[in-house]
Amino acid sequence: MYNIVLFGPPGAGKGTQSEKLIQKYGLTHLSTGDLFRKHLGEGTELGLLAKKYMNEGHLVPDEVVIGMVENKISETKDTHGFIFDGFPRTTAQAEALDKMLENHKMEISGMIALEVPQEILKERIKERGKTSNRVDDQDDAKINTRIKVYLDETLPVADYYSGQNKLTKINGVGKIEKIFAEIASVIDSY
Ligand code: ADP
């Protein structure tokens, strides 16, 4: 069983690589962004609550995110493990995730961090915004907020896993297949 945290700034390619990893390793994709967008689309109470944070590029409060992830882990049976994508995004979320997994007799195998320079991120997100229908992808100010929130609140999560000797950094610029091969070789070494 592998439980992988796929980490990186908005636009780093986490979603793209997750899809390929799911196919190769039979893992369950747990993307908190996707889960929130599903709630939003269905107009649930949780979706309405998350909407105001998401549309401005701010983080949804920890307790809301943690509760949603806990539900998803509990309801998932017979999996080869999880790819956590977009979660944990704060150190408090990382601590909560360790406890949750422990309760289910699992642990994080490792964090794989995709590194991409800011200028390339901004270009990628704007390009995605042309087709993604995501309001948070279509406006420079919102994109800048998300990158700032990442640097201020999310980057410390890498230190958290580094402190457990579980961090591997990978260059997220280049051909999708090449990046995927590097990620797969890290996973195969777990
Ligand atoms: P990105 O493409 O910017 O990485 P995501 O699709 O992962 O974005 O998430 C979109 C938005 O959903 C975030 O900007 C944030 O408002 C909210 N969100 C997703 N995951 C989390 C999380 N773990 N903690 C707090 N907010 C989150």
Which is it for the CA torsion 29, 33, 39, 45, positive or negative? positive
Q: Which of 170, 166, 156 is nearest to 5 (CA)?
A: 166
Alpha carbon nearest to ligand 1 atom 19, residue: 33
Q: Is the pLDDT of residue 34 over 90?
A: yes
Q: How many residues does the chain have?
A: 190
The whole-number pLDDT of residue 138 equals 87
Task: Scan for tokens 């948070």, then name that residue.
Answer: 136
99-156 pLDDT, tens digit per residue, is: 999 999 999 999 999 999 999 999 999 999 999 888 888 889 999 999 999 999 999 9
Kindly compute the dihedral angle of the four CA atoms of residues 43, 96, 109, 113, in this order, to the nearest 10 degrees. Answer: 70
Confidence category of residue 20, pLDDT binned at 50, 70, 90 = very high
pTM, rounded to two decimals: 0.94
71-107 pLDDT, tens digit per residue, is: 999 999 889 999 999 999 999 999 999 999 999 999 9
Ligand 1 pocket test: pick from 19, 36, 127 the residue with the most ligand atoms within 8 Å of its Cβ: 36
Alpha carbon nearest to ligand 1 atom 13, residue: 54
Q: Which of 143, 141, 119 is nearest to 132 (CA)?
A: 143
The whole-number pLDDT of residue 139 equals 87
Q: Which residues are catalytic?
A: 14, 89, 128, 134, 146
In angstroms, what is the span from residue 124 Cα to ligand 1's centroid? 16
Q: According to the 3-state scheme, what is the secondary structure of 73-92? A: HHHCCCCCEEEEECCCCCHH
Q: Is residue 33 within 6 Å of ligand 1 at its C-beta?
A: yes
What is the distance between the alpha carbons of residues 34 and 56, in angstroms, rounded to a whole number?
A: 16
Q: Which of 40, 7, 65 is nearest to 136 (CA)?
A: 40
In angstroms, what is the span from residue 96 Cα to ligand 1's centroid? 17
In angstroms, what is the span from residue 54 Cα to ligand 1's centroid? 7
The whole-number pLDDT of residue 162 equals 98
Q: Strand 81-85: give its sheet, edge to edge.
A: 28-31, 81-85, 2-7, 110-115, 167-171
From the CA of 12, give the closest atom in ligand 1: 4
In angstroms, what is the span from residue 175 Cα to ligand 1's centroid? 25
Residue 140: CB atoms within 10 A of its CB come to 10
Q: Is residue 36 within 6 Å of ligand 1 at its C-beta?
A: yes
DSSP state, residue 139: -
What is the distance between the alpha carbons of residues 64 and 93, in angstroms, rounded to a whole number?
A: 10
Tokens representing 15?
């979603």
